[in-house]
């Protein structure tokens, strides 16, 4: 297990990095911290760590200066540089200093860091091999010179000396070729690495701009690769990547270049194309090839790939970096559209990209500034119309972007790791609100709060929840935590363990969006839950779609057989309400009763509507 040093003078950022590393390495993590410039320089000089996570801004100096000083004396340590925002000059300087990766803190998630560490480890193994090859080459050259001198002095057999010299030179040339190959190829898959890919892309852009043919850059991201690694182990994951590289090599033309540019990321440079249709044909072949099942060491694996495409379109002065950014933006769109999808970059994406970048920058600032607010949607008992609880929902009003929907900022928070501080704020605000309702008509109602997959993995989750409940003197039974099927499936064993501990604390558990996943039945019977929430998509279509009606009916039947409550989401009409009552659904929420309301307004709403929420029989 490697020894890791986190160098950061910000306590919150140190804690966040530590949590991510604990999530990646588990209980065997060997982690230390340096909290200022002096501690950092002393720790790096001591040279007892294998991996360094370094903040760029350290008061007395920069993290880059520390890395540059270490790089001069040691080429076997892994350095990852963190910074608060994107900076091309720092990125370039970091690359020159030998930094394994340059990560903007807003992008720092467990998945991003794990991929970076894994790729850095592979690169370090390559570097060590290259160093060994370089040593061998130097020794060979020294032997040649020594051999030549000896031959001149000790032998008169010129023919023999020339033959030996030729053999030695041949060995040296082979070593040098091997050295170059290792520097330009991925050791695992034997295909070009990022360095050779960048070189070939620049060459291809120059050639295409002088010809009548087009060039396309395709970036690929393998679906569910983390799940493959977690389920079968890194050895199977490595074997899977080898097979992916082989399949891509088999379907592409000899003139195309395929490279592995990240842990599960591949790039293809398709040359001599006529137009976008030609590039689409390449993408279709890629998607089709990777959608076929894999057999790795006896394990049956089904996955797929998302593809983003950028076209040269014969634009003069095209830069490789700009084209990579465009392909990456298209890949982001493809992944959002679902599995097995490819998407072309177009100028219309620019506004979305700029908005996404703006939100990514604004999100941590908004959380720290308290720009978010909570609204509460009531849940109604269908037996008597009483309010049984409320669900806390976050809102982000923005001065220039107007209201930003949760469907936009929640996935962004999850992907950047900001879901942790956002969730901490939501928990505090929700429980504070619940405590403020003592001795009001809402005294005793439950508060439902959504629990993200990232929070579910935290070792201190149960202690944090207990501390918050004690702080506000609240009965744990008044807190209900909602977890989606997707979040539970990220690591089912951890989910079951954590949810059991929370239930032992007295907190109730609800499975949100029930029925939308692939393993709903298995989850309902294996997860410790008190409630199943029927997804609004089923409720919306149950009156005119037999499949949706069957999903609703079977969920209610299943839940009751397990002794679990059911809550229907998205109820908007009296007809929907009547149907749910006939099927025996326990509770419901939706605009038929009330939209999500601020904490003060919901008290007024309750005073106006109490006892009149259900239609007269």
Span 13-22, pLDDT tens digits: 787 888 888 8
pLDDT recorded at residue 294: 93
419 within 8 A of 362, measured Cβ to Cβ: no
Q: How far apart are CA 55 and CA 63, in angstroms?
A: 6
For residue 614, being part of any structural domain is answered with no
Nearest to residue 483, comparing CAs of 437, 530, 552, 429?
530
For residue 114, being part of any structural domain is answered with no
Average pLDDT for 264-277: 88
Worst-scoring range by mean pLDDT, 38-47, 108-117, 277-286, 575-584? Answer: 108-117
Spell out a b/e string for 418-443, using b for 16 or more CB atoms within 10 Å of the CB, else e.
bbbbbbebbbebbbebbeebeeeebe
For residue 581, being part of any structural domain is answered with yes
The answer to whether residue 71 scores a pLDDT higher than 60 is: no
The whole-chain average pLDDT of the chain stands at: 83
Per-residue pLDDT band for 521 (boundaries 50, 70, 90) equals low
Q: How far apart are CA 372 and CA 530, in angstroms?
A: 29
- pLDDT tens readout for residues 227-252: 888 788 888 889 999 999 999 999 99
Worst-scoring range by mean pLDDT, 509-513, 514-518, 521-525, 581-585? Answer: 514-518
Instruction: Report the half-sphere exposure of 100 (CA within 13 A, side-chain side).
Output: 27
- pLDDT tens readout for residues 152-211: 555 555 556 566 666 666 776 676 677 677 778 888 888 998 888 888 888 888 777 677
Per-residue pLDDT band for 470 (boundaries 50, 70, 90) equals very high
Single residue among 108, 137, 166 that ends a domain in this structure: 108
Per-residue pLDDT band for 473 (boundaries 50, 70, 90) equals very high
Give bridge partners of residue 79 from the DSSP assignment. Answer: 52
Nearest to residue 381, comparing CAs of 597, 592, 589, 615?
589
Per-residue pLDDT band for 314 (boundaries 50, 70, 90) equals very low
Per-residue pLDDT band for 331 (boundaries 50, 70, 90) equals confident
Q: How far apart are CA 158 and CA 143, in angstroms?
A: 18
Same domain? For 428 and 523 the reply is yes
- pLDDT tens readout for residues 558-591: 999 999 999 999 999 999 999 999 999 999 999 9
For residue 333, being part of any structural domain is answered with yes
Same domain? For 200 and 160 the reply is no
Dihedral sign from CA coordinates of 545, 547, 549, 551: negative
For residue 375, being part of any structural domain is answered with yes
Average pLDDT for 430-440: 95
Q: What is the 3-state secondary structure (H, E, C) of 431-451?
A: HHHHHHCCCCCCCCCEEEEEC
Same domain? For 559 and 424 the reply is yes
Tell me which of 593 and 360 has the higher pLDDT.
Answer: 593
236 lies in which domain range?
194-346
- pLDDT tens readout for residues 399-421: 777 778 898 888 888 877 888 89
Dihedral sign from CA coordinates of 348, 303, 106, 598: positive
pLDDT recorded at residue 375: 96
Same domain? For 528 and 585 the reply is yes
Tell me which of 319 and 150 has the higher pLDDT.
Answer: 319
For residue 145, being part of any structural domain is answered with yes
pLDDT recorded at residue 15: 77
* Tally of domains within the chain: 4
482 within 8 A of 451, measured Cβ to Cβ: yes
Same domain? For 130 and 89 the reply is no
Same domain? For 480 and 571 the reply is yes
Q: Find where tokens 């919901």 sit.
A: 602
Angle at 64 between CA 325 and CA 353, to 5 degrees: 20
Give the rounded percent of residues in the chain with a pLDDT score beyond 90: 34
Worst-scoring range by mean pLDDT, 178-182, 431-435, 519-523, 577-581? Answer: 519-523
pLDDT recorded at residue 162: 62
Q: What is the CATH number of the domain that holds 573?
A: 3.20.20.450
The answer to whether residue 72 scores a pLDDT higher than 60 is: no
418 within 8 A of 364, measured Cβ to Cβ: yes
Highest mean pLDDT among 8-12, 491-495, 594-598, 612-616: 594-598
Q: How far apart are CA 393 and CA 301, in angstroms?
A: 37
- pLDDT tens readout for residues 343-374: 898 776 667 767 777 888 888 889 988 899 99
Q: How far apart are CA 39 and CA 43, in angstroms?
A: 6
pLDDT recorded at residue 425: 94
pLDDT recorded at residue 286: 93
For residue 189, being part of any structural domain is answered with no
Same domain? For 166 and 261 the reply is no
Per-residue pLDDT band for 455 (boundaries 50, 70, 90) equals confident
Same domain? For 179 and 209 the reply is no
The answer to whether residue 317 scores a pLDDT higher than 60 is: no
Q: How far apart are CA 454 and CA 424, in angstroms?
A: 12
Same domain? For 169 and 264 the reply is no
Q: What is the CATH number of the domain that holds 73?
A: 3.40.50.2300
Helix (H, G, I), strand (E, B) or coil at 273: strand
pLDDT recorded at residue 160: 61
Spell out a b/e string for 12-34, using b for 16 or more CB atoms within 10 Å of the CB, else e.
ebbebbbbbbbbebeeeeebebb
Strands 342-344 and 305-311: parallel
Same domain? For 300 and 391 the reply is no
Tell me which of 455 and 522 has the higher pLDDT.
Answer: 455
For residue 513, being part of any structural domain is answered with yes
Instruction: Report the half-sphere exposure of 15 (CA within 13 A, side-chain side).
Output: 9
Same domain? For 11 and 92 the reply is yes
Write phi, then psi, for 53 (nearest 5 degrees): -100, 110
**Residue 71, both tokens:** 């790089």
Same domain? For 299 and 442 the reply is no
The answer to whether residue 518 scores a pLDDT higher than 50 is: no
pLDDT recorded at residue 161: 56
108 within 8 A of 12, measured Cβ to Cβ: no
Single residue among 284, 311, 346 that ends a domain in this structure: 346
pLDDT recorded at residue 264: 83
Q: At what angle do helices 461-471 and 419-436 cross, to 10 degrees?
A: 30
Q: How far apart are CA 290 and CA 270, in angstroms?
A: 18
Single residue among 132, 159, 184 that ends a domain in this structure: 184
Tell me which of 277 and 212 has the higher pLDDT.
Answer: 277
């Amino acid at each position: 297990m490697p020894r890791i040093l986190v160098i950061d003078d910000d306590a919150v950022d140190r804690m966040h990095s530590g949590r991510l590393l604990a999530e990646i390495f588990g209980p065997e993590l060997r982690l230390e911290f340096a909290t200022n410039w002096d501690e950092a320089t002393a720790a790096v000089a001591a040279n007892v760590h294998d991996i360094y996570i370094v903040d760029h801004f350290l008061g007395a100096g920069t993290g880059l200066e520390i890395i540059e000083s270490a790089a001069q004396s040691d080429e076997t340590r892994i350095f990852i540089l963190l910074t608060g925002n994107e900076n091309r000059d720092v990125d370039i300087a970091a690359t020159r200093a030998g930094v394994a990766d340059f990560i903007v803190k807003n992008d720092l998630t467990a998945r991003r860091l794990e991929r970076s560490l894994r790729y850095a480890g592979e690169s370090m193994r390559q570097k060590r091999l290259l160093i060994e090859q370089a040593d061998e080459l130097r020794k060979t050259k020294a032997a040649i010179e020594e051999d030549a001198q000896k031959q001149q002095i000790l032998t008169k057999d010129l023919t023999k000396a020339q033959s030996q010299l030729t053999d030695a030179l041949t060995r040296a040339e082979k070593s040098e070729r091997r050295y170059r190959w290792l520097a330009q190829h991925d050791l695992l898959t034997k295909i070009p690495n990022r360095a050779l890919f960048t070189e070939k892309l620049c060459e291809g852009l120059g050639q295409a701009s002088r010809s009548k043919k087009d060039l396309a850059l395709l970036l690929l991201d393998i679906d569910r690769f983390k799940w493959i690694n977690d389920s079968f182990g890194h050895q199977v994951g490595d074997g899977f990547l080898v097979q992916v590289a082989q399949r891509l090599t088999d379907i592409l033309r000899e003139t195309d270049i395929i490279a592995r540019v990240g842990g599960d990321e591949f790039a293809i440079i398709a040359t001599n194309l006529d137009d976008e249709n030609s590039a689409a044909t390449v993408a279709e072949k890629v998607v089709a090839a990777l959608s076929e099942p894999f057999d790795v060491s006896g394990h049956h694996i089904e996955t797929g790939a998302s593809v983003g495409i950028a076209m040269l379109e014969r634009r003069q002065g095209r830069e490789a970096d700009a084209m990579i950014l465009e392909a990456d933006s298209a890949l982001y769109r493809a992944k959002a559209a679902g599995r097995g999808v490819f998407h072309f970059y177009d100028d219309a994406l620019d506004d979305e990209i700029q908005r996404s970048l703006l939100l990514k920058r604004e999100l941590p600032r908004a959380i720290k500034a308290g720009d978010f607010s909570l609204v509460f949607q009531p849940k109604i008992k269908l037996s008597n119309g009483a309010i049984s609880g409320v669900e806390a929902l976050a809102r982000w009003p923005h001065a220039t972007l107007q209201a930003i929907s949760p469907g936009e900022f929640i996935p962004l928070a999850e992907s950047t790791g900001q879901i942790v501080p956002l969730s901490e704020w939501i928990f505090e605000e929700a429980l504070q609100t619940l405590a403020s309702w003592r001795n009001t008509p809402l005294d005793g109602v439950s508060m439902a709060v959504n629990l993200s997959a990232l929070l579910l993995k935290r070792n201190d989750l149960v202690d944090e929840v207990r501390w918050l409940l004690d702080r506000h003197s609240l009965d744990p039974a008044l807190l209900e935590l909602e977890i989606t099927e997707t979040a539970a499936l990220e690591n089912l064993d951890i989910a079951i363990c954590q949810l059991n501990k929370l239930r032992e604390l007295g907190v109730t558990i609800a499975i949100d969006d029930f029925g939308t996943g692939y393993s709903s039945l298995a989850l309902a019977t294996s997860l410790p839950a008190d409630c199943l929430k029927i997804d609004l998509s089923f409720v919306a279509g149950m009156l005119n779609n037999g499949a949706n009606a069957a999903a609703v009916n079977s969920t209610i039947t299943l839940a009751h057989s397990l002794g679990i409550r059911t809550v229907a989401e998205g109820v908007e009409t009296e007809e929907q309400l009547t149907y749910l009552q006939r099927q025996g659904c326990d509770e419901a929420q939706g605009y038929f009763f009330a939209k999500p309301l601020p904490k003060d307004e919901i008290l007024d709403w309750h005073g106006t509507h109490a006892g009149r929420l259900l239609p007269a029989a």
